[in-house]
């Protein structure tokens, strides 16, 4: 499959979706989002791929948000469309495989929203994050008002959104928006290290842990706890749980099959 707006590469069970529009700071136009969706569909079927990493081409930007040249043409009908950026990020958040945002530079607007839809965010110390949409007299409309508030709390989210404040990676770590910030030349290795830890786990447990956290935090505690209980019931009956527990007792590395 050939792409024009993104690059899709795979290495050691890790797929990389790299937004490839460095001249416009990896701004996200419709074509880029369409290609992202195609890549995700392909990767969902690929059993060799255990996790997906999103990043941006070059050393300046992860993604500088929606492509403003296309925004000028948008109408209310576009915002209401079931296939917009908000939908793409919903697909990413509920994606079966774990996702990591490798934030190599600016993650602004839709770029920050993309990162927030991923399970884990790791940033270069040069990264800058924010939701400056109000400068254009629009709001973060691809999950930003909801995910930022859930990640950093309502107070910090309102400060960032209403003022358009751009924060650096260190501050993003402090507020829980980013898991870790490392020197730019250590970013790729850090992402590989985190991914390797996830990939060493039973895939079924990874899938159900992700589902329990994402869905459980969007419902009341009792329902969330039931979701957790039912997920655990599935895992208690799985071959991988038998393998994982046996391997621990036999002091060897587990060989998980995802069953
Ligand atoms: N949409 C379309 N084009 C964009 C863009 C976006 N979101 N972000 C950057 N670009 C383009 C610029 O128009 C410029 O194009 P040009 O070379 O034809 O003039 C090019 O990318 C480089 O941008 P520039 O502003 O010169 O780079 P910079 O390194 O000085 O600043 C940013 C980088 C990301 C801070 C700045 O470009 C910016 O603020 N972008 C908009 C961010 C935003 O508001 N996002 C939310 C959109 S809803």
Give the active site residue among 11, 48, 93, 113: 113
Strand-pairing partners, residue 177, are none
Give the count of beta carbons closer than 10 Å to the beta carbon of residue 204.
19
Q: What percent of the chain has pLDDT over 70?
A: 100
pTM of the full structure: 0.97
Residue in 22, 64, 112 to alter for ligand 1 test, most ligand atoms within 8 A of Cβ = 64
pLDDT digits (tens, 9 = 90+) for 79-94: 998 899 999 999 999 9
pLDDT above 90 (res 1): no
In this structure, what is the dihedral angle of CA atoms 31, 36, 39, 44, given to the nearest 10 degrees?
A: -140
Q: Residues near 234 by Cβ (< 8 Å), separated by ≥ 6?
A: 204, 208
Ligand 1 pocket: which of 5, 23, 25 to mutate (most atoms within 8 A of CB)? 25
Q: Which of 168, 173, 163 is nearest to 131 (CA)?
A: 163
Residue 136, burial from CB neighbour count under 10 angstroms (0-12, 13-18, 19+): middle
Could you read off the pLDDT of 146-170 as tens digits, one per residue? 999 999 999 999 999 999 999 999 9
Measured from the Cα of 109, ligand 1's closest atom is 46
* Residue 66 CB less than 6 A away from ligand 1: yes
pLDDT in tens, 238-256: 999 999 999 999 999 999 9
Using the predicted structure, report yes or no on whether residue 193 has a pLDDT greater than 90. yes
Q: What are phi and psi of 110, to 5 degrees?
A: -60, -20
Q: Write down the catalytic residue from 133, 171, 180, 183.
A: 133
Query: Sorting pLDDT into bands at 50, 70 and 90, what band is 236?
Result: very high
Neighbours of 49 (CB within 10 A): 15
pLDDT in tens, 12-38: 999 999 999 999 999 999 999 999 999
């Amino acid at each position: 499959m050939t792409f024009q707006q993104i690059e899709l590469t795979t290495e050691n069970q890790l797929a990389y979706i790299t937004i490839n529009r460095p001249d416009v700071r990896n701004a996200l136009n419709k074509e880029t989002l369409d290609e992202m969706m195609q890549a995700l569909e392909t990767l969902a079927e690929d059993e060799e791929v255990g996790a997906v990493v999103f990043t941006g081409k070059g050393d300046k930007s992860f993604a500088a948000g929606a492509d403003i040249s296309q925004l000028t043409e948008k109408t209310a009908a576009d915002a209401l469309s079931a296939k917009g950026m908000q939908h793409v990020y919903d697909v990413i958040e509920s994606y079966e495989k774990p996702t990591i945002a490798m934030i190599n530079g600016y993650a602004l607007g839709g770029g920050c929203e993309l990162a927030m839809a991923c399970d884990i965010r790791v940033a270069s110390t040069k990264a800058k994050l924010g939701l400056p949409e109000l400068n254009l007299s629009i709001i973060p409309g691809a999950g930003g008002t909801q995910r930022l508030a859930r990640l950093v709390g309502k107070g910090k989210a309102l400060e960032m959104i209403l003022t358009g404040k751009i924060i650096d990676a260190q501050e993003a770590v402090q507020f829980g928006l980013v898991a870790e910030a490392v020197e730019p030349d250590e970013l790729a290795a850090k992402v590989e290290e985190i991914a390797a830890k996830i990939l060493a786990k039973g895939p079924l447990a990874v899938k159900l842990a992700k589902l329990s956290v994402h869905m459980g935090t969007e419902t009341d505690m009792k329902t969330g706890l039931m979701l957790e209980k039912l997920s655990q019931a599935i895992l208690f009956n799985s071959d991988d749980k038998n393998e994982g527990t046996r391997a621990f007792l036999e002091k060897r590395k587990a060989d998980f099959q995802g069953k």
